[in-house]
């Protein structure tokens, strides 16, 4: 009886543990096509030293594998870009097949954005490339709150003082004059 109870209790614990182990790769899978395609274009722009706007989306071969067009090496070229669930962006020239690069990426600390630290010595763009999902209404509220508290305290106090004195002037101006005043 005790053994069957233990085995029944282990199943949910094992299932929860397995689910947690699978969540990290699933986060990359859960990232939408727009997010993965954005990461591909950023890696390609650093690799070929071109602007992101110069890359065009042609199509999707498979889950996480995109065809991107660009004018490169005096002709239009198509690049294959795959964003894998194990943290790699694989880029290959579809036209020549001679160029193939594997660039690691990771999730940021919040688990929302895909980040890579790739840079080419020939290209001036340095630092991290970050692809994030579009911001929603909740993100706008958090950004406003963060912007408020990132200001110097004297400026916050000065703005609050101006707002308070403006309210006091408006409330006294709205009061009607007292009747039966001086004669």
Q: What is the pLDDT of residues 53-70, one digit of tens each?
A: 899 888 888 888 999 988
Cα–Cα distance between 140 and 163 in angstroms, integer?
23
DSSP state at residue 54: G
pLDDT for 180 equals: 55
**Tens digits of residue pLDDT in 126-157:** 778 888 887 767 666 777 777 776 778 888 88
Both tokens of 105, joined, read 């990426």
Listed residue (30, 44, 122) closest to 89, CA to CA: 44
Q: Where are the domains of the chain?
A: 26-131, 137-171
Does the pLDDT of residue 49 top 50, yes or no? yes
Residues 6+ apart with CB under 8 A from 88: 82, 102, 103, 104, 105
DSSP state at residue 139: H
DSSP state at residue 87: S
Cα–Cα distance between 96 and 161 in angstroms, integer?
66
Tell me phi and psi for residue 46, to 5 degrees.
Answer: -75, -35
Task: Give the Cβ contact number of residue 19 at 10 Å.
Answer: 10
Alpha helices in 49-122 (DSSP H): none
């Amino acid at each position: 009886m005790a053994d069957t109870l233990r085995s029944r209790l282990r199943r949910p614990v094992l299932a929860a543990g397995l689910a947690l182990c699978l969540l990290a790769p699933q986060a990359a899978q859960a990232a939408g096509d727009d997010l993965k395609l954005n990461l591909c274009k950023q890696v390609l722009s650093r690799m070929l030293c071109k602007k992101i706007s110069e890359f065009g989306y042609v199509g999707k071969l498979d889950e996480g594998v995109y065809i991107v067009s660009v004018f490169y090496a005096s002709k239009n070229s198509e690049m294959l870009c795959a964003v894998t669930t194990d943290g790699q962006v694989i880029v290959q020239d579809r036209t020549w097949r001679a160029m193939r690069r594997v660039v690691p990426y990771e999730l940021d600390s919040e688990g929302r954005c895909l980040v890579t630290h790739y840079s080419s010595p020939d290209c001036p763009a340095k630092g991290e490339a970050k692809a994030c999902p579009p911001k929603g209404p909740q993100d706008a509220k958090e950004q406003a709150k963060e912007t408020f508290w990132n200001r110097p305290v004297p400026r916050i106090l000065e703005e609050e003082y101006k707002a308070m004195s403006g309210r006091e002037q408006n409330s006294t101006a709205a009061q009607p004059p007292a009747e039966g005043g001086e004669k």
